[in-house]
Chains A and B, each alone.
Chain A
Amino acid sequence: MIKHISSLLGAGALALGASLGSARAADTVKVGVLHSLSGTMAISETSLRDILLFTFDEINAKGGVLGKKIEPVVVDGASNWPLFAEKAKQLLEQDKVAVTFGCWTSVSRKSVLPVYEKNNGLLFYPVQYEGEEESQNVAYTAEAVNQQATPAVDYYLAEGKKKFYLLGSDYVYPQTTNLVLLEYLLSKGVKLENIGGGFRRDGAGKIISAGKYTPFGHTDYQQIVAEIKQFAASGDACVISTLNGDTNVPFFKEYAASGLTAETCPVVSFSISEDEFRGLPAKQLVGQLGCWTYFQSIDTPANKKFVADFQAWLKKTTVPGIVKEGRVTCSPMVLSYVGVYLWKAAVEKAGSFDVDKVRAAWKSGLSFNGPGGKVTTQPNMHLTKNVFIGETKADGQFKIVKTFNNVYGEPWLKGKFK
């Protein structure tokens, strides 16, 4: 029975041991990488881990940051939101990392946010999100709604589209995006009856939810596609989709089967990038639109070098668990990449790794010429960047059809468009 106690304590020692794992060297700076390497989000998030390790190697080869080599501390959030909070605590309180690059889903960000605020840490968040947030402890390299959704609407309007169908997965990002889009469309003179997907009103008749929503993992899109087909009968309709992950497969299958095409009624998806086509059949989506602040097909020397360097790094890396074949680059990856360089620039300007000083440097407006063109930091912790609209090709790449330059990242959009 005594052994029970010792094994109980032993288990605790394991947890303690985690903090003693790696020795601290004076000429390195610890940087946290907090992504899901297992679970449902792993397919997207491991790519961000890979690009971060690549970026660290690239910076270390050129002498590091302030003369210190970056020492990555990689942890697995395992698509488990409470575990994200625990790992964030570990990175900040035990490993004492100077900065963390991480999170994909909004819920993981919401889960770690109190931890970063309490410890005055700094988190770089690279994935398109709903806004309505402006923490002093998060650097949002992510696309705000006005860097993805509203430019897509502008593009459609210029193309002569008059009817807009809103469709999404039922969680905070699609719900918020669609409410912003509703206001934006109305401000552009689109009539309420030409906005599809339905509305939900509160007791006073105010619209509190716009668009059609399906749960995660939904597979039956027959009825919804039939509704879209009816909606699109006039020939001047389009779909704005914030469907997430796997649900895109049955949706586009049904969409193609019903005879709808990119010509009769195009769909713009905000959650499908080049990386998602590693798991999605691109053939069913040919001609459909994507909208991001980077596409691999951007034809500039900087981007070509970036893509080639990443492929070369993949070939020679010895980090276990990295997939080497069929890899692509996409917007969340590039926003992770530019995030590291912007952090480096902020640290060098501040002359210190201190979070308050780094934040002040960020707010002063730093620029970096990344693979997607120039990005500039803003006082509201977001980024000014270029926005591209692309048409899906059969090989899972995008043909760029429209570019918006230097779009200011604006997190607070509700009630802005009148």
Chain B
Amino acid sequence: MTGASQASPRRSRIELTVVAIIAVILIVVLPVLNAQGAISNFTLGLWGKYLCYALLAISVDLLWGYTGLLSLGQALFFTLGGYMHGMYLMRMIGELGQYKKPIPDFLVFLGWERLPAFWEPFSSFSFAVVMVFLVPGLLAYVFGYLAFRSRIKGVYFSILTQALTYAASIMFFRNNLLMGGNNGFTDFKFILGHSLAEPATMRGLYIATAIAVVLAFLFCRWLSRTKFGLVQQAIRDGENRVLFSGYATMHFKLFVFVVAALIAAVGGALYTPQVGIINPGEMQADKSLEAVVWVAVGGRGTLLGPILGAVSINALKSWATRAYPDLWLVILGGLFVLVVLFLPGGLVSIPARLKALWGKVRRSPEKPAAAASDTQPASAKT
């Protein structure tokens, strides 16, 4: 599991080369093909969504794979990031909503005639961007501080994170919160003056997402190789030992928890304009569980695995909900079971598995051949 940090320089170089190739494909090749018409806007849009999910998966992996903190509420930070950016996007609709009023439709529907004060600053993109980081980051800091100071660990930590996201979803479902209630935010029109109906705008958002994924990957990879990262992994493997060696594990965990929340929030902020809707359904318990499944299927503690898991499972979901609308849940569920049973290292462990298998096949022909031929008794004699 700790493969990445113990890798030899040569393996590390190969890995970086592969990552560089993937990065070029994602950031340059796909958008260029899209601009030329070889990849449809729909497909590129799907990739944008998958990569937003990949950011969520990376954040889960940073916590679970590298620090041993199984957060079952990571989608909360993702959704909060989405909401903060969504508030800006709602302001940019202007008077193009159903009611043709200068305030968001759902406020008109709730009987408001003027914008509530806390909505005012969200007309500024830069303010919204700050809030994308500040709100989820602050929540993660406060929650993490309280949880880690009380030394809440293991399954209790998981249950608390799940409860937190559940509570938040109930809060956001309420119309009183003035955040769109059950419907959330939708019907976005513009971002930074560019129409969201334009393929070029969507392409730009896609590129931003791809860059964010690569940066998040590189940052987490770098972090896991620093001294900090080693302590982090030591916490995962034996927290008490680390504690008694004189490290204040709480600060390490708190830092990682906040960083993970920020990565998820960026994913959510990019998700909202690309998908076109953000609502409290996104912070319900099952969404966070889904993210954990992506990480488990892709390969926990590998950073590349979660990206692979998020993209491949969601691509499979996109395909199966159209091709087998009645059976897709069975297909996906069956796949999860198979991976857990036969591929505990996740999808990323396939190459190593194949290599091992190949090694076995290459070495073993002698044995069955020897067993089958009648030279064996002869050799037994000698």
Contacts and interface: CB of A to CB of B under 8 A. Distances in A.
B21 A5 contact: yes
A366 interface: no
Contact of A93 (B14, B40, B351): B40
Interface in A61-97: 73-78, 80-83, 85-87, 89-90, 93-94
Contact of A90 (B42, B188, B304, B354): B42
B237 to A, nearest CB: 26
B45 to A, nearest CB: 7
Contacts of B275: 82, 85-86
Given A18-B323, A215-B174, A12 B47 contact: yes
A18 B187 CA distance: 26
B18 A18 contact: no
Interface string A14-56: 1111110100000000000000011000000000000000000
A301 interface: no
Contacts of B41: 93
A318 to B, nearest CB: 12
Given A81-B279, A208-B111, A4 B18 contact: yes
Contacts of B110: 175, 208-209
Nearest to A172: B183
A281 interface: no
Interface stretch (A106-114, A145-153, A221-229, A349-357): A106-114
Contacts of B279: 81, 107
B187 A132 contact: no
A308 interface: no
A395 interface: no
Given A18-B323, A111-B277, A86 B318 contact: yes
A83 B321 contact: yes
Interface string A105-142: 01100110111001000000000000011100000000
A404 interface: no
Contact of A175 (B175, B281, B321): B175
B357 interface: no
Contacts of A176: 109
Given A7-B347, A81-B281, A21 B42 contact: no
Interface in A179-238: 179, 200, 202, 206-209, 213, 215-216
Given A4-B348, A11-B311, A202 B98 contact: no
Given A11-B312, A171-B181, A172-B181, A118 B197 contact: yes
Contacts of A86: 46, 49, 275, 318
B320 to A, nearest CB: 9
Contacts of A348: none
A37 B197 CA distance: 29
B156 interface: no
B175 A80 contact: no
Given A4-B348, A75-B321, A171 B25 contact: no
B146 interface: no
Contacts of B347: 7
B42 A5 contact: no
Contacts of A83: 317, 321
Interface stretch (B137-145, B157-165, B221-229, B324-332): B324-332
A170 B98 CA distance: 21
Contacts of A94: 40, 42
A4 B312 CA distance: 11
B43 to A, nearest CB: 6
A158 interface: no
Nearest to A1: B18
B5 interface: no
A302 B304 CA distance: 61
B277 A85 contact: yes
B358 interface: no
A320 B45 CA distance: 31
A17 B319 contact: yes
Contact of A4 (B22, B99, B111, B197): B22
Of B173, B282, B318, chain A has the most CB atoms within 10 Å of the CB of B318
Nearest to A95: B322
B325 A74 contact: yes
B321 A170 contact: no
B321 A5 contact: no
A8 interface: yes
Give the top 6 A-B pairs by smallest Cβ distance, nearest first: A208-B111, A11-B315, A171-B182, A321-B326, A76-B325, A11-B312
Interface of B: 14-15, 18, 21-22, 25, 40-43, 45-47, 49-50, 98-99, 106, 109-112, 170, 173-176, 181-184, 186-188, 197, 275-277, 279, 281-282, 304, 308, 311-312, 315-319, 321-323, 325-329, 347-348, 350-351, 354
Interface of A: 1-5, 7-12, 14-19, 21, 37-38, 73-78, 80-83, 85-87, 89-90, 93-94, 106-107, 110-111, 113-115, 118, 132-134, 170-172, 175-176, 179, 200, 202, 206-209, 213, 215-216, 320-321
18 contacts: A1-B15, A9-B25, A10-B312, A11-B315, A12-B43, A14-B319, A21-B323, A37-B326, A77-B321, A81-B277, A86-B46, A89-B42, A171-B175, A172-B183, A175-B175, A209-B175, A216-B182, A320-B326
Given A81-B281, A93-B40, 15 more contacts: A4-B308, A8-B312, A18-B322, A73-B322, A80-B281, A82-B275, A90-B322, A107-B182, A110-B187, A110-B277, A132-B98, A170-B175, A175-B109, A207-B111, A216-B173
